[in-house]
Amino acid sequence: MKQTPLLELKGITKTFGDFTANDSINLKVYRGEVHAVLGENGAGKSTLMNIIYGIYKPDRGDILLSGQSVKIQSPRDALRHGIGMVHQHFMLVGMYSAIENVCLMGEDSALSLTNKKKTEEKLNELKKRYGIEVDLHSPVEQLSIGMQQKVEILKLLYTGADVLIFDEPTAVLPPQECDALFDVIKNLVRQDKGVIFISHKLEEVLYISNYITVLTKGRITGQIHTEEADKETIVRMMVGEDVLPPDFAARRAVGTPGPVVLEGEGLYARDDRHVYTLQGVDIQIHAGEIVGVAGVEGNGQVELAEVLAGVRKARKGGRVKIDGQEVSTKNARAFIDNNIAYVPADRNYVGSVPDFPLYENWILRNNHPPMKGPFLDYGEIRREAENAMKSYDVRARGVEERSANLSGGNLQKFILARALEKHPKALICEYPTRGLDIKATWFVRDRILRAREAGMGVLMISGDFEELFSLADRILVLYGGKIVGEVRPETTTVRKVGMMMMGVNGHESD
C-alpha cells in the first residue's frame, strides 16, 4: 500500500542488567506520517529513541533507513543519516542567536561572517517552507520556550534531517504554544518528512498522529491507525486488560460536606525567592469535601498548600485555623500534631529522604513514632511500614529499599499511605498524580476519594483538568496569588477554567 518505510526498526531489544527496557520492537515510520509512540513513564520510549539516535547500542535488532540496514554509533552518526531529535531539554547555547546555534552544528567555523550569511539565507528559506515563525537574531535565552523549540527544529532541518523525533515535546510548553507546535509538525509531514512523536498524553496523540504504537513495560502492546482508534481502545492497550476507567465523578455526588476543618484567612506568603506569590487568600476546607485548586504554575498555589500544611510562614498577619483553633504557621509541629497530612509535589526530596530506607522514611512527618523507652522502636516501625506497603500495593524489594530506588508511582503510594494511615483531619496534596502511570493514577485518585468519604477535608492542587473535574467538589482558580474564581465542576467547562487561569474573567469573555 505504501512505499518503503523511511525508518524501520526490526526486533530491537535492549537490556540493562536484568531489566529489559525494549523487547523486540518493530515499527515503521513512513514519509509524510506522524508516528506516535505512546507509553507511560518507564515504558521504554526514551530508551528506544536513544537507540535510534545512537546513544545506546541495541543488544539485538536492526535499524533500516529507506530499506538499507545501518549501524548508528552516535548522535552525529544519526544526524548524518538524517535522523534528528528534539529533546525535552533543548541543546542550545543561551547566549547565542538561532543562527549562531545552527552554525555550531556545522563543520565550518561558527565565527566566519560569510558562513553566518549563508546560514541565515538557508534558515529563512526553511522558515518559509515549513511555516516556522521565529526570531533568528536574538539570543535564544530571550525567546519563549515554544520559540526555542522551533529553533531546535530549524537546527535539525538545517542539517538535513528527514526523520524528526519529538521527545514529549508538549511537556515543557504552555497550552497556547502547543497548538503552534502542532501546526509546525503538520507542515513537516506535508513536506514529506517523517515524524516520531513520543508522548504519554492520549488526547494529543489522537489529535496529531497518523499511526500509534503503544509501548508498555518495554513491549509493544498495540499498533493502530489513528483514524481507527479511540480513547478506550488505547487505554485498553496500555493497561493490558479489559478495565474501564473508574467513574470517579459518580462517587463525588455522594455525601455532604461537614464542618470546616481547615481555614485560612488573609493568607500572604513568599516563595523561595522572597517574592510574594500568595497575595491574600481566604479559604475554607470542610470535612468530607475535596477542594481543587487550579492555576498556571507559579501563581501561588504551592505556597497556599505549604502555608496550610504548616511548612511555610503566613505573612502580613494571615491566620490558619484548624477546627476553629488558630495555629501559628511558624510551628510546623503543631500542624503535624493536629493531624494535617501533606503530600508534597516533590516526592524525592521533600516527601522523603532519598538515601533513607523506606522504614526510616515511614516516620518522617511524625512527632510520635513508636518508641521503646528512649529509643525508636524500629521493629514496630518496620511492621507498620510493611503493612501499609501491603495495603497500598507499594512494590519494592522490602522496607530496606532506599526510597530513591522506587518508581514515582510506588513512592507516591508510599507517601500517601504514610499520610493517610494516621487518619488525618485534612489532607493537602500537590499534583498528586503528576508523572504517574495510569494505574497508579487511578489508585491515588481512588484513595483521595476514600479520604473524602472517610470525612477528611482535602485540598488538591492539580494541573490536570480531568483530575480536577472528576474529583473536586469545587474548584478555586488562583491567578497572581489571588482567588479569581470558584466554580463547581458540574456547571462549568474546562475552557472557562482555563480562561480564568490566564487571568481572563469568565464573564467578560462571554
Partner 1 sequence: MKAIDSMRSGALLRRVGIVLLSVLAALALGAVFLIILDVNPFTAYYYLLVRPFSSLNSIGEMTIKMVPILIVGIGVSFTFQTKLSNLGGEGQICLGAIGMTLVGTSSFAQAVGGWYIPVGMLVAALFGACWAGIAGFFKTRFKASEIITTLLLNYIAVQLLSWCVYYPLRDTAGNIPQSAPVAATLPRLIDGNRMNLGLVIALVCVLVYWVVMKRTKFGYRLRVLGGSIKAATFGGISKKKYYLIVMLISGAFAGLAGSIELAGTQTRLLEGLAGSYGFDGVVASLLGMMNPLGVLLSSVLLGALSIGAETMQVRTGVSSLFLNVLEALIVLFILLGFSFFGSGSRRKSKKEKEGE
- Where do contacts with partner 1 occur on this chain (CB under 8 A)? 16-17, 19, 42, 46-47, 56, 310-311, 332-333, 335-336, 342, 344, 346, 349-356, 360, 363-367, 369, 371, 374-376, 378, 402
Q: Smallest gap, in angstroms, from Cβ of residue 360 to partner 1?
A: 7
Complex with partner 1: residue 161 or 165, whichever CB lies closer:
165
Complex with partner 1: residue 89 or 137, whichever CB lies closer:
89
* Residue whose C-alpha is closest to residue 73's, from 44, 87, 53, 90: 53
Q: Smallest gap, in angstroms, from Cβ of residue 425 to partner 1?
A: 16
- On whether the CB atoms of residues 6 and 194 are closer than 8 A, the answer is yes
Between CA 145 and CA 133 the distance in angstroms is 13
Q: Smallest gap, in angstroms, from Cβ of residue 402 to partner 1?
A: 8
DSSP 144: -
Q: Smallest gap, in angstroms, from Cβ of residue 372 to partner 1?
A: 9
Q: Smallest gap, in angstroms, from Cβ of residue 310 to partner 1?
A: 7
The residues pairing with 186 across neighbouring beta strands, listed in sequence order, are none
Q: Smallest gap, in angstroms, from Cβ of residue 404 to partner 1?
A: 8
Complex with partner 1: residue 310 or 318, whichever CB lies closer:
310
Between CA 443 and CA 175 the distance in angstroms is 27
Complex with partner 1: residue 124 or 367, whichever CB lies closer:
367
Q: Smallest gap, in angstroms, from Cβ of residue 42 to partner 1?
A: 6
> Quick one: how far is CA 106 from the chain centroid?
34
- Apex 63 CA angle, 57 and 68, nearest 5: 135
CA-based end-to-end distance of the chain? 48
Complex with partner 1: residue 377 or 466, whichever CB lies closer:
377
The 10 Å Cβ neighbour count of residue 355 is 10
Total residue count of the chain as it appears in this document: 510
Complex with partner 1: residue 388 or 428, whichever CB lies closer:
428
Between CA 413 and CA 440 the distance in angstroms is 8
Residue 245 CB partners (closer than 8 Å, separation 6+): 235, 442
Q: Smallest gap, in angstroms, from Cβ of residue 49 to partner 1?
A: 13
Between CA 211 and CA 223 the distance in angstroms is 7
- CB contact burial 203-226 (16+ within 10 A = b; e otherwise): ebbbebbbbbbbbbebbbbbeeeb
- Which phi and psi angles does 157 have, rounded to 5°? -65, -35
SS (H, E, C) 150-173: HHHHHHHHHCCCCEEEEECHHHHC
- On whether the CB atoms of residues 22 and 14 are closer than 8 A, the answer is yes
Complex with partner 1: residue 294 or 308, whichever CB lies closer:
308
Q: Smallest gap, in angstroms, from Cβ of residue 61 to partner 1?
A: 18
Complex with partner 1: residue 7 or 436, whichever CB lies closer:
436
Q: Smallest gap, in angstroms, from Cβ of residue 313 to partner 1?
A: 11
Complex with partner 1: residue 47 or 441, whichever CB lies closer:
47
Complex with partner 1: residue 402 or 474, whichever CB lies closer:
402
Burial of 317 (0-12, 13-18, 19+ CB in 10 A): exposed
SS3 217: coil
Complex with partner 1: residue 150 or 413, whichever CB lies closer:
413
Q: Which residue has the cell 517574592?
A: 275
Q: Smallest gap, in angstroms, from Cβ of residue 100 to partner 1?
A: 28
* Residue whose C-alpha is closest to residue 163's, from 125, 194, 135: 194
